[in-house]
Structure 1
């Protein structure tokens, strides 16, 4: 008999995060869904009525004391998949010369620092998981090789930093037999992506799950889009 697998995800209240929760529940995974304000996440919390294997926790990913407290609460729970999904774009349309350094720090805190702190806090649980994987939701906008339009300094730098973290994690977690993958979800119709985006959350998440589920240890530390196409650094 196969033991039920456990997936933990941040930013689970809407968009891509919520879609991940729905799909892994349908795949009969135990899902640990984290978001800042569960009391306002009505679509997420309503899933509890149909899925007993869903646990929801209040978590601000930049509150590292709270992150450590949750890791202590879940210290005996093996985690097979950790999805660092919570993200923040910051100000849009800011021209060169008008960089908001306060917002920049906020974006870096959420997009770059917090994902690493989550892995540090839950490393023991990942090491105990079955063929465990860390998936970091990044963006092609963090790719140097793909940057042909310039601008977007704040968001690009945060995701480029996340890519570097993911690459180092892939090397350092080999000793734990934990895989790491950096993912570009596509331009998705979410609050961040806007209504003119090219694909919906279902198309993105179905593709991302396929990439995650077929990842081998030889592919750890690589950067793929939702179709499984490798993206240049």
Structure 2
């Protein structure tokens, strides 16, 4: 079975992915920010890597060093994120910096450290890159400039822009890692019913916006990751299609496919 790393595995999508992969027989390394492992999710196949905060410069090096010497990862999934509401009337400097650091800066440093340490499977045969490891960056349709539309208004600058920045990080990583056979996927996993969206008041839109549970999002994302290959590296996808993207029809038209390639 595969070996999977979940960066941000204690709650939400990360916890659901860790549980699903572990139940399927994969070896799962999951990070948490606390100095000791959480009690949940719990499974014999989940091995916790504590004290990893993706918003710190040392997180990538610390994570690579904390993994066992024999560990070589088939899939790295970075789900860690941070979201707080803001408006044009009340921009919040420290909160913006934290969102950018967590969502866009940290993932680059983590991936770079893991690759440099030889912790991600690479494959080159006859001088030609072949499918090897996968890096999955959990972004959001909020980061798509093409999907932004007057019907939803402005605001939440760093939430949207940090995801846009993450999308560019993923695109550039796909170019740097292509020669190693490492495919990079950038995904919108769906509008989810999580504490993160509830804490910013988005729970009022859960029903009207078609929000799903993290377990449902994970169930859609895992087969997409399994099928993902170098042919699609560096692309931005919604594995669940347009069903929870309120501006999709207005900006992309009707009868959209599932999975759905998203505009930058």
1:205 to 203, 206, 218: 218
Tell me the CA shift for residue 193 of structure 1. Answer: 2.3
Q: Cα distance 1:128–1:79, how it changes in 2: closer, same or farther (>3 A)?
A: same
The answer on whether the counterparts of 1:89 and 1:155 sit within 8 Å (CA) in structure 2 is: yes
Write out aligned runs for 1:136-215 (5 A).
Answer: 136-148=137-149, 149=152, 150-194=154-198, 195=203, 196-197=205-206, 198-215=211-228
Q: How many residues align?
A: 223
4+ runs of 1 displaced by more than 2 Å? 38-42, 62-67, 72-76, 127-131, 193-197
Shift of 1:42: 2.4
Residue equivalent to 1:79:
73
**1:25 aligned to 22, 25, 28, which one?**
22
CA-CA distance at 1:98 after TM superposition: 1.5
Are 2:97 and 1:100 equivalent residues in the alignment?
Answer: no
Output the aligned Cα RMSD: 1.7
Alpha-carbon distance, 1:38 to partner: 6.1
Q: TM-score, normalised by structure 1?
A: 0.90
Larger radius of gyration between Structure 1 and Structure 2: 2
Contact kept? 2:173, 2:184, Cα under 8 Å: yes
Q: In structure 2, what is the Cα distance between the partners aligned to 1:113 and 1:69? A: 16
Structure 2 segments unaligned to the other structure (5+ residues):
124-130, 241-258
| 8 Å CA contact retained: 2:49, 2:66 | no
Matches within 5 A, 1:100-139: 100-123=92-115, 124-128=118-122, 131-139=132-140
TM score, norm. by length of structure 2? 0.80
Contact 1:205/1:226 (<8 A) preserved: no
Structure 1, unaligned runs of 5 or more: none
